[in-house]
Every structure is written in C-alpha cells, then in structure tokens.
Chains A and B, each alone.
Chain A
Amino acid sequence: QKEVEQDPGPLSVPEGAIVSLNCTYSNSAFQYFMWYRQYSRKGPELLMYTYSSGNKEDGRFTAQVDKSSKYISLFIRDSQPSDSATYLCAGDTGRRALTFGSGTRLQVQP
C-alpha cells in the first residue's frame, strides 16, 4: 500500500464547476500537507500548504485536512480550462521529505 493514495482520474468537469480532489494517507506522522499543480512536462507548482487539521482558503482554492480520518481534499471553485492539469497531494512529517500521491488528472471543458 502506498503512503499517499490518489484517484488517477481523469476527472472531467465543465467550466465553472466546483472540483473536489481527494487523497488518503497512512502515515500518522504527517503534520504538513501540500497540494501542487503540475502542467504537462513542467515542474510542480505549490498551490496550498496546511499544517495539521483544518481548512485553508486562497482565492478559488480551499484545502481541507482531516487527520482523524487521514483524508485531505482540495476544492476548486469556478473552475477554468486553465486549471486543467495534474494535481498532486503530498504529506510531510516535518523533515521536508515530501511523500506524494501519484496525482489526479483534471480536465476542465470550456
């Protein structure tokens, strides 16, 4: 079993939809959680960074962490075609050695 699990998708939604991306993890020592966006053949871009459980909002993006169920989510409001990319979740115990999921490919149809 991988430490971080993600549905690979692809997830296809119409423009303007609310997107929900999810990950589960098994390492109880994770304290920090990140979401990265990766366009094809590019490096990952940090979208959201959260510490421990709770919610964090930044513009159209909301990250949620539930440590009791080992579940992390990213919500994208008013999705745009430019949001089409692979979304990677990652956990970190504090040692800055990120453990990534395999990514979910999102397609936003105009």
Chain B
Amino acid sequence: ETGVTQSPTHLIKTRGQQVTLRCSSQSGHNTVSWYQQALGQGPQFIFQYYREEENGRGNFPPRFSGLQFPNYSSELNVNALELDDSALYLCASSFTDRNEQFFGPGTRLTVL
C-alpha cells in the first residue's frame, strides 16, 4: 500500500510569484486535506477536497486555491506569494467515512 506522497520536497520562490504543490493520496483514500505548518507551530487547516470539490475551508485568503483530480490526487496553488507563506505544506488523505488522516512528508516552501 502506497502512502501519501508530495512533490516537490523543497521550493524557493520570490514574493509575488505563484506556486503549485502536488499530492497523491494514499491508496483508496478519496478525501484530501491541505495544511500549513509554520516553524514551531502545529499544522493549520487550509481546505479539504472531496469528489473534486472544496468541502471545507480554514481561515486562509482566496489566493490559496486547490484542485482534486478524478484519481483523488490534488494540487495546492498559492498566488501572489508573501514572505509569511514560508512554511511546510502538508497534504493528508482519508476515507470519507473515517476521521483518521494520514499525512505526507510535506513540501517546504521558502519565499524570499
């Protein structure tokens, strides 16, 4: 069974640029959630996707957007990057009828 995978591992961008992060969910999982983890903090919920639609959103501005594909993989897009967007971005997958979420290794984004 393949776990959650994310790409790329690391990314460096400059302020104002746009970035796309990718996630492949664990085999059989149809729900994907994205979290932002700043240094020394716990992860913060960004949004969740189910059946290719956003199914819940945390306190993040619209420049954070996402997609889910028919194979349940997902993308997180961030426009107009700000310095405070520097963080570890985590993807988690789960079954719709279960609450356990399994995280990927994360993508570390640095905004200069």
Contacts and interface: CB of A to CB of B under 8 A. Distances in A.
Give the interface size class of chain A. 20 to 34
B106 A98 contact: no
Given A4-B42, A44-B43, A102-B40, A97 B103 contact: no
A32 B56 CA distance: 17
A43 B103 contact: yes
B54 to A, nearest CB: 12
Contacts, number: 65
Interface string A36-60: 1000011111100101000000000
Nearest to B6: A43
Interface residues of B, number: 27
A42 B101 contact: no
Contact of A98 (B45, B88, B105): B45
A32 B108 CA distance: 28
B44 interface: yes
A9 to B, nearest CB: 11
Contacts of B41: 102-103
Interface of B: 4, 6, 31, 33, 35, 40-45, 48, 56, 58, 88, 90, 92, 94, 99-106, 108
Interface of A: 4, 6, 8, 32, 34, 36, 41-46, 49, 51, 88, 90, 92, 94-103
